[in-house]
Amino acid sequence: MTDGAGQTPPGTPGPEQPGSWGAPSPGPQHPPPGSWDQPPPGPGGGAPAPGEWPAPGGWQAPGSDPAAAPVPGQGAPPGYIPNSPNSGYGPGGYGPHGGYGQQPGPARGYGAWGPNGWGGPPIAPKPGVIPLRPLAVGEILDGTFATIRSNPGATLGLTLGATAVVETISTVAAIAAEEMSNTAATVLTLLLFGLNAALGIFLSGVLAVVVSEATLGGRITAGDAVRRVTPRLGGLLMLTLAVTLLSALGLVALIVGAVVVAVYLSLATPAYVLEAQSTGDALRRSWRLVKGSWWRTLGVLLLSAAVGGVLMLIFAIPTSVILMSSEQTFGSLVEGDLTMAGHIVNAIGSLLATTVATPVISGAVVLLYIDRRIRREGLDVTLTEAARQRAATP
C-alpha cells in the first residue's frame, strides 16, 4: 500500500531494505547452514526461516513490529554474550555496519577459533605428551620427561633391567681382566664395547616406540615395546654401524665434518623403527628431515646431552667420592686399579646414571623427529586424526 507519492507509509511492514540496521543483504553474505555463524533459534525453538535474518534493532520475535525504531545496543538475541566463541557471531557482536554478519577470520583448521573469538591464539590438540604442532625446544624436553613419568616401566624400568645385565657382565669381565694378558684384556675390552653399543641400540629402538605411543596419549608396557622392536633389531644394528662408519669417514676428513654428518643422520633410528624403512632409506630420510634445520637440530641434541650429562653427574660424583674414601677397600680410582668391592660400587653408580640419562637423550631425539615431520610434512594433521579415532574406539 502506497500513498499518492508512491511512498510506503511509516509503520507498514515491508521487505528489508539494503543498508538497514543489522540486516544482511541476501546472497553470499548469509553463512551456510551448520556454520559457526548460523543465527540462533527463535523463540519457537527452531532455526529461523531463510527470510528471518535480523531486522532493524536486532532479532525480532514473531508478531513484533518490524517497523519499530531501532535502539543501538539493544535487541540482541536471547543468550547472546559479546565475544563468546559459542554465541554464533564474531567478536564484538555486530558486523561492520551494525549487522550480525560473519566476522573476518580463518575459515578452517584447528586453532581458527581461539579462546577470544576469531583471530585468537591457535589451540592445537594435545592427546598425549606434546601438542600436535611445531614444537619449541622446551616442549621437546617437557615431552621427554612427561613420557618418562607416564611410562616409567617401559623407560626407566626397561633401561634399568637391560643396563643391569650389561653392567654385571662388564664388572665380572673387568675383574677377570686383571689376571689376563694384555692381548686378552684388549679383546675383552672390545667385546665389552660392542656389548654396550648393542645396549644403546636396543634401548634407542624401544624408546622410539614408547615415545610414539605417548605422543598419541597411549601407554605401553616394556614387554609390548620389546616385542614391537625385536623384529627390527638386526637392521637396527646395521643402521648404527652405518651411522658410525659414515661419522668416522667424516672424522677422517675433518672433525667438523664428523659433527655435520652425525647431526644429519641423528634421526635415522626413529625413522627406521617408526616408518619400517630399510637402513638406506632411514639414512636418507634423516638427512632430508634435518636439511634446512641443521643448527636447530644440533642445538636440541646438545641441550638434551647436557641435561643427560647433568643427571649422570648426580650419580657419578657420589660414586667417585665413595671410591676415593678408602683406597684399601676400593682400590685406586685414579690409576684404574679397583678391588672387587670398588668394581661393584662403580658398576652400581654407572647403572643408576645410565638409567636416568638414556631415556632423556633418546626421548628427545624421537620428539625432535616428530617435530621435523610436523614442520615439513604436516604430520600433526595425521596424528590428530589418529588420536581422534583412537579416542572413539572402545
Q: How confident is the model at residue 253 (pLDDT cuts 50, 70, 90)?
A: low
Q: Per DSSP, which regions of 89-246 are E strands?
A: 113-114, 117-118
Mind listing the pLDDT tens digit for each residue in 325-334?
888 888 888 7
Grid-cell match 653392567, residue found:
167
Closest C-alpha among 104, 102, 120 to residue 32: 102
Q: What pLDDT does residue 95 have? A: 39
Q: 383 pLDDT exceeds 50?
A: yes
Q: 86 pLDDT exceeds 70?
A: no
Q: How confident is the model at residue 391 (pLDDT cuts 50, 70, 90)?
A: confident
**Per-residue burial over 270-300, b = 16 or more CB atoms within 10 Å of its CB, e = otherwise:** bbbbbeebebeebbebbbebbeebeeebbeb
Q: Which amino acid is it at 16? A: E
Supply the mean pLDDT for the chain: 74
Q: 220 pLDDT exceeds 60?
A: yes
In terms of pLDDT, which residue wins out, 182 or 251? 182
Q: How confident is the model at residue 122 (pLDDT cuts 50, 70, 90)?
A: low
Q: What pLDDT does residue 370 have? A: 93
Report percent pLDDT > 90 for the chain: 29
Q: Which amino acid is it at 116? A: N
Mind listing the pLDDT tens digit for each residue in 161-181?
989 988 898 888 888 877 778
- d(CA 89, CA 343) in angstroms, rounded, equals 72
Give the pLDDT mean for 45-55.
39
Q: What pLDDT does residue 105 have? A: 40
- d(CA 141, CA 366) in angstroms, rounded, equals 11
Closest C-alpha among 97, 91, 66, 61 to residue 77: 61
Mind listing the pLDDT tens digit for each residue in 184-200?
888 888 888 888 888 88
Q: How confident is the model at residue 265 (pLDDT cuts 50, 70, 90)?
A: very high
Domain-wise residue ranges, the chain: 137-230, 292-392
Give the pLDDT mean for 290-314.
94
Report how far apart, in Å, the C-alpha atoms of 155 and of each of 196, 197, 234, 317, 346 are.
17, 18, 21, 24, 22
In terms of pLDDT, which residue wins out, 143 or 74? 143
Give the pLDDT mean for 341-345.
89
Closest C-alpha among 173, 196, 199 to residue 186: 173
Q: Per DSSP, which regions of 292-377 are E strands?
A: 331-332, 337-338
Q: How confident is the model at residue 254 (pLDDT cuts 50, 70, 90)?
A: low
Report how far apart, in Å, the C-alpha atoms of 187 and of each of 102, 182, 193, 194 are.
76, 9, 10, 11
- d(CA 147, CA 121) in angstroms, rounded, equals 26
